[in-house]
Structure formats: structure tokens, C-alpha cells
Amino acid sequence: MRIADLLSKGERFFSLEFFPPKERPAWPEFFAAAERLKSVNPLFVSVTYGAGGGTQSNTLELVARLKKDYGFEPMAHLTCVGASGEFINGFLDNLAKDGIDNVLALRGDPPRGDGAFKPNNKDFSYACDLVRFIRKGFPKLGVGVAAYPETHPEAVSPAEDLLHLKEKLELGSDFAITQLFFDNSYYWDFVKKARAIGIEKPIIPGVLPIVNLAGVKRIVSLCGAKLPPEILARVEEADATGGAKAVEEVGLEIARKQVRALLENGAPGVHLYTLNRAETCLKIIEGCA
């Protein structure tokens, strides 16, 4: 089913984002985590798409199995990295063959060490090119896109970045999922500005639980989100006094508070960046019930 149709029911929801494990031997653990998360009844689950060939076919295989063996409504991420029309058609044909109805259309980040994004092909320079291509060849497929409450790091300006989001949605994508953020005011300001320029489609907030100090510092440095000083101080203190376990506890508290506030203030639902950790997600979601 298209995620847009699920969203139109207007019920508060959680959706879950997984990444393909690097090695095959880790797959049983991945599926065990997914199975545990069935109990939270996510509206949909999504699987990220890496820059290398192997991880791309893993995305396909994982979404197919999450649908067939576990009964989730999955969405495959897809990027412009290394893209050609033939390749994208092949990927989308495979999705259709496996009965997958949704794709998240992204420009993608370049493979590590490659510096700035270089399109393989001028036809796929931005996510909007991918949305246009998908809409033309696969009109029935549900399409989501990414949005940036704190502005994409390469954007010319916040206003232009927002116009590019508008373009992606006007080309026929159904909804947007945001980059992670830790201060909800960024999300609310962003939604307000989006509505003011005529963006009416759902903007789903993406939330990342903090599970370790070095990890969250690395992630924010890559994606351009800000770690508010009071959150950084709490996590640093937990790390210094109680180590890894204390950081996880504080991270859970922070995520629960953030998710609760988003839902109480009218967010349509929350997209959790699961880090493939069932226990963490269960504790957040159950803590918000």
C-alpha cells in the first residue's frame, strides 16, 4: 500500500528506519530486531541505500523479506549516486516484482572519501530528477523525499533549500521525512515556513536516539544538525560518570521527551532512526504510550 494512503487515515504513528548490516552473518540479528519491533505496529519501515553495489542489492532483498516474511509495509531508499536510467528502472522493476509500493527518492551522499557529490549522469543530479523519473515510469509507486529543518549543509540558503523541497513534492512525491534534529523548535519553524510557501504534504519528523557520545558527535558533524549545548553537556556528564550504559539511559530519556513533545504538539507521527536496535526503540516507543 502507498504510504500516502496510510498517512491519509490521520492516525498518530511510528515508522522505523533500518540500515543493511555490512556482513551477511549479521542478517539473523537484523531480522530478530525487526521481529521484536513488530509489536509496535509501525506504519511503515524503511531500509537505507548505501553507495556501494553490494549494499544496494541488500536494500532490495531486505525490503522484500521485511514484507514477505514479517508483514511490514516497507520502503526502499534509492539515491542518484552512480545512477543511470537503466539501473534505476532495474531497481524499481525489482521492487514491483516483490510487491514493494514505496521508495524514498534521494540525491544521496557520495561514497566516503569522494568529497563533494558528483553526479554519474547529469540526468540524476538532484533528488528532484529521481522523483521526475520515477513518476514518469512508475506512476503508481509511492514516493517520499528528504527535508532539512536545519537546512541541507550544501544549500545556498534556507529559503532556496525549502523551494527545492517544494519542487520535489510538486513533481509528485507524497511526503517528506526530516533529517534528525534535537531541538523541536527547528521542526516547528520549518513546518511553518513550508506551509507558508504552499507545501501541504506531510512532513514527518525524524528522530535519532543518542546511544553513544562519539557516534552522535560524528553523525551531527556529517549531517549538519546541531547538538544543543544542554544535551551535549548531559551526555558528556553521563559518559564521564557512568560510561556507555549511562549514556544510553540519558539518550533514551532525551529521545522519549523529544518524541512525546512532537506527538503532543501535533506531529503526524515520528520516524525513528532505529540504528537496528530493537531494545532502544521499544523503550522509546513504550515510554511514549
Contacts with ligand FAD by CB under 6 A lie at 48-49, 77, 79, 104, 106-109, 126-128, 146, 152, 154-155, 160-161, 164, 168, 177, 179, 206
| Three-state SS annotation for 90-154 | HHHHHHHHCCCCEEEEECCCCCCCCCCCCCCCHHHCCHHHHHHHHHHHCCCCEEEEEECCCCCCC
167 is catalytic: no
Closest to ligand FAD by CB, 65 or 152:
152
We find the least distance from the C-beta atom of residue 113 to ligand FAD, in angstroms, to be 14
CB of 12 to ligand FAD, least distance (A): 19
106 or 254: whose CB is closer to ligand FAD? 106
| Shorter beta-carbon distance to ligand FAD: residue 101 or 248 | 101
Quick one: 75 or 250, whose CB is closer to ligand FAD?
A: 75
Q: Which of 69, 72, 92, 96 is nearest to 6 (CA)?
A: 72
- For 274, counting Cβ atoms within 10 Å of its Cβ (0-12 exposed, 13-18 middle, 19+ buried), the class is buried
Which one, 155 or 261, has the nearer CB to ligand FAD? 155
> Looking at 17, 73, 150, 248, which residue is catalytic?
17
| C-beta of residue 247 within 8 angstroms of C-beta of residue 239 | yes
Min. distance of Cβ 53 from ligand FAD in angstroms? Answer: 13
Q: How far is the CB of 67 from ligand FAD (least distance, A)?
A: 18
Q: How far is the CB of 108 from ligand FAD (least distance, A)?
A: 4
- Active-site residues: which are they? 17
